[in-house]
Amino acid sequence: MNKVILVLVTTILLTGCAINEKPKDDTIVISEENDANEKKINRDPNETELVLEAGYFNHIKDVNGLLEIQNPDNTLALVNKDFALPGDYVPEDLIRPDVRFIFGNEDVEKSYLRKEAAEALERMLQASESDGIYLYAVSGYRSYKRQDSILQAEIANIGEEQALQAVAFPGKSEHQTGLSMDITSESAQFLLSEAFGETDEGEWAKHNAHRFGFILRYPKDKEKITGYQYEPWHFRYVGEQAASIMYEKNWTLEEFFQHVKKI
């Protein structure tokens, strides 16, 4: 016998966290297990509010004028020009994902991600290959020290003002979370450039990454919100349900936190 489930409030579970989609009025969701024609009675999703446990918001401390994140292991940590990771933060669960890298099997810092993100990236690239799309990983985890070196080199190359539009200050780079990976393709000449966004591979990544918990972190026309130029190559792991919400609503991570309510 099929089991009928009655739920008064729709609950959405994230990988590693929980979001509740809480309607203004009670919503009844009816589903029958093993029923291909699942029945659901829902109000317009625009009339619902998203609520998220407090632990998935930044816990901030002012450290010499710097707004420093005190819960950096949070998979939804909002790292940007306003909020920084501690300089000594290094994720404890970094592993090397089994994916194609543009530098082959060389075991270097940037080939690592946190375990959850690494496993999700493996699934994503396996799925892309099934669709005839071949993606290559370029740069994942980046230490505070390495970020400082990159910024100083870029400032020397193009000047401070331009450099800061493309390169984060040490502590303010998502790469230090171990949850971000830059990807490219052979058709983009293995470069990290806006041209990647125009390729079949870039289009596939943009429209499928959310299925594996990744978001396109710095999309086009959102520069004033993210503080960074368009980067079609930079993908950030946030978990499948959060990524799907952001993709469907065309939100950046900043916009997500503007809409979600803390509980």
What is the reported pTM?
Answer: 0.83
> With contact defined as beta carbons under 8 Å apart, do 256 and 242 qualify?
yes
pLDDT tens across 78-117, in order?
Answer: 999 999 999 999 999 999 999 999 999 999 999 999 999 9
- Burial of 170 by CB count in 10 Å (0-12 exposed, 13-18 middle, 19+ buried)? buried
pLDDT tens across 136-157, in order?
Answer: 999 999 999 999 998 999 999 8
Q: How far apart are CA 230 and CA 215, in angstroms?
A: 13
Nearest to 245 by CA among 260, 231, 232, 234: 260
Cα separation values, 90 from 67, 117, 178, Å? 18, 15, 8
> With contact defined as beta carbons under 8 Å apart, do 43 and 27 qualify?
yes
pLDDT of 14 above 50: no
Per DSSP, the residues of 216-235 read EEE-TT-HHHHSS--EEEEE
- Tell me the average pLDDT across 169-178: 94
pLDDT tens across 42-80, in order?
Answer: 334 455 789 999 999 999 999 999 999 999 999 999 999
pLDDT at 17: 56
pLDDT at 19: 62
Out of 201, 231, 254, 255, pick the active-site residue: 231
Identify the DSSP state of 47: G
Give CA 134 to chain center in angstroms. 20
Cα separation values, 17 from 83, 160, 213, 236, 261, Å? 21, 38, 12, 16, 14
Average pLDDT score over the chain: 85
Output 52 or 18, whichever has higher pLDDT. Answer: 52
- Told to judge if 33 belongs to the known catalytic residues of this protein, a careful annotator would answer no
Cα separation values, 247 from 176, 190, 244, 253, Å? 23, 25, 5, 10
Per DSSP, the residues of 87-149 read TT---TTEE--SS-BTTTT---GGG-EEHHHHHHHHHHHHHHHHTT---EEEE----HHHHHH
**In order of start, what are the domains of the chain with their CATH numbers?**
4-52 (no CATH), 90-257 (3.30.1380.10)
Identify the DSSP state of 163: H
Helix, strand or coil, per DSSP, at residue 84 = strand
Helix, strand or coil, per DSSP, at residue 247 = helix
Question: Does the CA dihedral 90-93-96-97 come out positive or negative?
Answer: negative
